[in-house]
Amino acid sequence: MRIVIDVERELLEKARRTLGTSAVKETVNAALRMVVERETTRDAFESLRSRDWSALLRPAGRNM
């Protein structure tokens, strides 16, 4: 898909250096991927954090 946007040159350069990319398209796609991955990771962490882990803390062979 082709989209025309204005980007902050300095921000794009910082992102390019951070991501190790060279082309604008590559930098934007990598940055978008990172945002999506971060949100996916956050959702997974919240899902794990909200679980009841107490059964794992019980000694083996004891059902309380």
Q: Identify the pLDDT of residue 21.
A: 97
Q: Is residue 37 part of a domain?
A: yes
4 occurs within a structural domain: no
- Flag whether 57 is in a domain: no
Model pLDDT for residues 6-60, shown as the tens digit of each residue: 999 999 999 999 999 999 999 999 999 999 999 999 999 999 888 888 888 877 7
Q: How far is CA 53 from the centre of its chain?
A: 25
Check whether 64 has a pLDDT greater than 60: no
Burial of 39 (0-12, 13-18, 19+ CB in 10 A): exposed
- Indicate if the pLDDT at residue 61 is higher than 90: no
Domain count of the fold of the chain: 1
The boundaries of the domain holding residue 22 are: 9-49
Residue 61 is assigned to a structural domain of this protein: no
Domain assignment of residue 55, yes or no: no
Do residues 21 and 27 lie in contact, with contact meaning Cβ atoms separated by under 8 Å? yes
- Evaluate whether residue 44 is within a structural domain: yes
Q: Does residue 35 sit within a domain? A: yes
